[in-house]
Amino acid sequence: MSSYPHPVIAREGWLYLGLATAAALVVTAFGGWWSLPFWLVAVFVLQFFRDPARPVPAGERLVLSPADGRVIAIATTRDPYGEREALKISVFMNVFNVHSNRAPVDGTVERVTYFPGKFVNADLDKASEHNERNALLIRVADGSLVSCVQVAGLVARRILCYVQAGDRLARGQRFGFIRFGSRVDVYLPLSARPRVAIGEKVHATTSVLAELQPEGAKAHG
| Pairwise CA distance, residues 35 & 26, whole Å | 8
For the question of residue 2 being annotated catalytic, the response is: no
The CA-atom distances, in angstroms, between 43 and each of 13, 33, 38 are 12, 16, 9
Catalytic residue among 35, 100, 144, 182: 182
Burial of 166 per CB tally in 10 Å (0-12, 13-18, 19+): exposed
* b (16+ CB within 10 A) / e for 63-75: bbbbbbbbbbbbe
C-alpha distances out from residue 129 to 6, 21, 31, 116, 152, Å: 32, 38, 47, 11, 11
Helix %, strand %, coil % for the chain, to 5? 20, 35, 45
d(CA 207, CA 191): 20
The residues annotated as belonging to the active site are 182
